[in-house]
């Protein structure tokens, strides 16, 4: 980041302390964006041979040019910077960032845009500040199986002359390619997102991909008739007989359907879940509420050390997945409920409260009414898992006003080479 005549300029490819020649590419109301043209003074933290050279135009790997130990230090400083904005969080210790088991090839899921023409398809992500699609055939962050599927899909589109959707004309069939990998079995699921049924085209494309990449065990089709940028529509159709994959985090097994939310870095997810279990310090007598439980990852990691775990999730399909996952792992002291989080927390509180509440919200953080409902139950401890240091700090400040002291925060690098960081925070109820 740099400043020019009072405007904050975000410079892609630059590191703190460097002197750069940069070209402004976009000027917004509050900040401007620029690409690095030339580096006049290099940082000692600069990686001399990054695994990818698309950093100037790709938003996927904002820290690829930085050595990995420096990335971990940068992420700790990012978390601390957000915390120092609140007087209630000044004294909170921010631990050293725990690194990912793998720095590259860790992403088990990719959601990619399909563009171009059927004789020259492009599969990738949007270029920075544009709607142009950047080809990423050999992404360094993707599991190698994803890259194999992308190449096969391109060849299959060409061979089958599959019409590609054009958002300007709103014509065409194929919109997105979603690939998910179950690492332990080395099997993949492919979801072809289309504007219409396209029965024959999709069956031929699915067959071509499976022949080219035998590890593809599941192919499904999702029909999205909207004109916006939302990837999935409401209608699904199975193309293969197999409809789900079995994936693992640690020793826990998870059933994955096309819409299941699953952590994109299984190795780092295991670190986070084990950290939650460590901070929970359960003795087998506790009642735990897992809010925003998704498909039950944290719930299942806590179940064998708790008396009871109640998972809460707004999305009914996720609750169905979580229930299946509990059965797959032979866990009988977990149950899951779908609905509004604040309302369900109030109900559960009336039924007997909780000894520990885990919060794991999406990037926007928790609604304040959820935090108030949690505090009203007065659990002795809260564990907050967050993918946004900014909303985490905001919510911890609110919880401070509701009687909770943040004891520590542990950053975990779920997304190496990117500017994102996951955090696990432990809160304790202040004694009156």
Q: 238-279 pLDDT, tens per residue?
A: 999 999 999 999 999 999 988 888 889 999 999 999 999 999
**313 annotated as a binding-site residue:** yes
Q: Give yes or no: residues 154 and 242 share one domain.
A: yes
> At which of 239, 256, 273 does a domain end?
256
Q: Per-residue pLDDT for 27 more than 90?
A: no
Residue 72 lies in a domain: no
**126 annotated as a binding-site residue:** no
Chain centroid, CA 27 distance in Å: 28
**263 annotated as a binding-site residue:** yes
Angle in degrees, CA 280, 363, 393, rounded to 5: 65
Domain that holds residue 274: 77-101+265-429
Arithmetic mean of pLDDT over the chain: 93
What pLDDT, on a 0 to 100 scale, did the predictor assign at position 400? 97
Structure tokens at 63: 């820290």
Sorted by sequence, the CB contacts under 8 Å of residue 332 that are 6+ apart come out as: 326
Q: With helix as H, strand as E and coil as C, how does 198-237 read?
A: CHHHHHHHHHHHHHHCCCEEEEEEEECCCCCCCCCCCEEE
> At which of 209, 238, 256 does a domain end?
256
Rounded to 10°, the helix 68-83/389-401 angle is 30
Reduced to 3 states, what is the DSSP secondary structure of residue 407? strand
> At which of 204, 221, 256 does a domain end?
256
Q: Give yes or no: residues 56 and 187 share one domain.
A: no
Q: Give yes or no: residues 387 and 344 share one domain.
A: yes
How many structural domains are present in the chain? 3
Q: Give yes or no: residues 406 and 275 share one domain.
A: yes
Phi, psi of 341 (to 5 degrees): -60, -50
Q: Give yes or no: residues 84 and 203 share one domain.
A: no
What pLDDT, on a 0 to 100 scale, did the predictor assign at position 109? 96
Q: Give yes or no: residues 294 and 413 share one domain.
A: yes
- CATH for 285: 3.40.50.150
**91 annotated as a binding-site residue:** no
Question: Which one is catalytic: 58, 61, 334, 387?
Answer: 387
What pLDDT, on a 0 to 100 scale, did the predictor assign at position 271? 98
What pLDDT, on a 0 to 100 scale, did the predictor assign at position 425? 98
pLDDT: which is higher, 58 or 379: 379
Distance CA(206)–CA(288), nearest Å, equals: 43
Q: Give yes or no: residues 247 and 271 share one domain.
A: no
What pLDDT, on a 0 to 100 scale, did the predictor assign at position 432? 65
Q: Give yes or no: residues 277 and 323 share one domain.
A: yes
Do β-strands 308-313 and 334-338 pair in parallel, antiparallel, or remain unpaired? parallel
Q: Over the stretch 361-390, which tens digit does the pLDDT of each residue have?
A: 999 999 999 999 999 999 999 999 999 999
Residue 329 lies in a domain: yes
| 290-317 mean pLDDT | 95
Residue 71 lies in a domain: no
Structure tokens at 389: 């240091």
Q: Per-residue pLDDT for 313 more than 70?
A: yes
Q: What is the pTM of this model?
A: 0.92
Q: Give yes or no: residues 86 and 143 share one domain.
A: no
Is residue 387 annotated as part of the catalytic site, yes or no?
A: yes
């Amino acid at each position: 980041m740099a400043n020019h005549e009072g405007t904050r300029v975000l410079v892609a490819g630059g590191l703190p302390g460097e002197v750069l020649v940069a070209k402004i590419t976009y000027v917004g109301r509050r900040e401007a964006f620029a690409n690095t043209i030339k580096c006049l003074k290099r940082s000692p933290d600069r990686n001399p041979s990054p695994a990818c050279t698309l950093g100037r135009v790709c938003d996927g790997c904002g820290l690829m040019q930085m050595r990995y130990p420096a990335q971990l230090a940068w992420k700790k400083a990012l978390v601390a910077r957000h915390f120092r904005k609140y007087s209630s969080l000044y004294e909170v210790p921010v631990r050293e960032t725990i690194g990912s088991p793998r720095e590259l090839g860790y992403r088990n899921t990719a959601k990619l845009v399909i563009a171009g023409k059927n004789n020259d398809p492009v599969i990738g992500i949007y270029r920075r500040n544009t709607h142009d699609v950047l080809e990423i055939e050999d992404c360094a962050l993707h599991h190698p199986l994803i890259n194999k599927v992308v190449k096969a899909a391109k060849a299959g589109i060409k061979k089958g002359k599959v019409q590609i959707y054009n958002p300007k004309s709103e014509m065409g069939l194929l919109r997105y390619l979603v690939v998910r990998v179950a690492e332990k079995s080395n099997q993949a699921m492919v979801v072809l997102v289309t504007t219409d049924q396209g029965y024959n085209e999709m069956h031929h494309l699915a067959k071509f991909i499976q022949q080219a990449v035998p590890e593809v065990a599941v192919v499904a089709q999702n029909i999205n008739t909207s004109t916006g940028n939302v990837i999935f529509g409401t209608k699904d159709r199975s193309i293969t007989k197999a409809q789900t994959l079995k994936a693992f985090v640690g020793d826990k097994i998870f059933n994955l359907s096309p819409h299941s939310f699953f952590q994109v870095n299984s190795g780092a997810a295991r670190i986070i879940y084990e950290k939650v279990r460590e901070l929970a310090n359960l003795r087998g007598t506790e009642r735990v509420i897992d809010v925003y439980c998704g498909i039950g990852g944290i719930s299942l990691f806590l179940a064998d050390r708790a008396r009871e775990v109640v998972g809460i999730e707004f999305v009914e399909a996720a609750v169905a997945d979580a229930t299946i996952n509990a059965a797959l792992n032979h866990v009988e002291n977990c149950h899951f409920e779908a609905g509004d989080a604040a309302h369900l927390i109030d109900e559960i509180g009336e039924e007997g409260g909780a000894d520990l509440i885990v919060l794991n919200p999406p990037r926007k953080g928790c609604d304040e009414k959820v935090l108030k409902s949690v505090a009203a139950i007065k659990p002795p401890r809260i564990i907050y898992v967050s993918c946004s240091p900014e909303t985490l700090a905001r919510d911890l400040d609110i919880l401070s006003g509701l009687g909770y002291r943040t004891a520590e925060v542990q950053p975990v690098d779920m997304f190496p080479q990117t500017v994102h960081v996951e955090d696990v925070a432990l809160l304790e109820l202040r004694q009156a």
